Amino acid sequence: MEQKTLLSSAHDELVLVLSFFPRVDAKASVVLAVDTGMVGYLSAHLPGLASVLWWEFLAPACTIALLTCSFWFLYKGAFPRLKGGEGSLVYFREVAGRTETKFVDEFMGQQESVYIKDVLGQSWRNSQILKDKFDALKYAFILMAIAVLPWVISLSDFALRKHS
């Protein structure tokens, strides 16, 4: 493949990979909102501790445990491991580690084939980070979905207790 075509394709690949980041972050925001809403609503409807038997705390405790794990995976997705890209003139952490002058000089002095490899390496590394973010989101969503059952049981029990 010709160098100019290869460079254009490498840039397109990087842009494509980067375009998925807002998608996963938007979905994670929804899961975070639902998790937070579930915890808040459950907390607001908890009866007095003295009026509840120990076994009646099982469903709320299960809900809180599942949502806590969901929050953990959301955290992992929001702050993925960013190591890698050593020596890159494309990766933001490596660029930020240089002085402005050093970055400009190194960027201007690199060969096109080296730059193409750097862009493709960045696409690969971002793909790894994106995979980790999607995996974390998947687990957060699954845990949230499982938490719905004990959450509903808890709220039903609290409502019945209130009307008795």
Q: What is the pLDDT of residue 153?
A: 94
85: left (phi over 0), alpha (psi -120 to 50) or beta: left
For residue 53, count other CB atoms closer than 10 A to its CB. Answer: 6
Note if the pTM is more than 0.95: no
pLDDT digits (tens, 9 = 90+) for 84-116: 888 899 999 899 999 999 999 999 999 999 999
Q: Give the H/E segment covering residue 87.
A: none
Using alpha carbons only, what angle is made at residue 11 by residues 82 and 23, rounded to the nearest 5 degrees?
55
**What are the residue boundaries of the structural domains of the chain, listed by start?**
15-45+52-163
Q: How far is CA 140 from CA 3, 98, 150, in A?
A: 42, 37, 16
